[in-house]
Amino acid sequence: MNTCPFRDMLARVADRWSMLVLCALAKNGTLRFSALKVRIEDISLRMLAPTLRQLEQDGFLSRTVRPTNPPRVEYALTRFGESLLATVSELVRWAKAKITGACRRRAGTTCPRADSMRKLSRTNNSINLDTIALALGGDNTTVTAFRIAE
């Protein structure tokens, strides 16, 4: 069965970890595997490795092996990856502006994290990469903010 390249691209950028990896690299520049693990809270080593591999295969990041003992492997955004983040920043801006209403409609209550995100958005017109993705919890009453550590 043939797969649609467009569908594959959307699946890559919409998965749980890819955006966090790309934003960590955008915020911090070139990073080693262990530094990425520290900066992306909650990602397991088992998920980080295949996410990096797939992002490299898709051209979003580059992987450089330095000839040291042991080898030093570094990851960096490519221009293609940077272009994606420029586009996604608008989606993040929209989500920050609309999340409180979405929480109220889904749960009938306010969301403290969403309210604090809106305050963050108002204080800084640029996209703050500390909080880049939002996901409603399985019970539709919780908002989880995935954060990139400083």
Tens digit of pLDDT for each residue in 89-138? 888 788 878 777 777 777 655 555 554 544 444 433 333 344 344 332 33
Residue reference for tokens 């990896």: 21
- Contacts with 23 (C-beta within 8 Å, 6 or more apart), sequence order: 85, 129, 132, 148
Domain 5-80 carries which CATH code? Answer: 1.10.10.10
Residue reference for tokens 């889904």: 106
Domain positions in the chain are: 5-80, 88-147
Burial of 118 (0-12, 13-18, 19+ CB in 10 A): middle
Average pLDDT, the chain: 75
Short-list 65, 62, 27, 24, CA closest to 43: 24
pTM: predicted TM-score of the whole model, two decimal places? 0.65
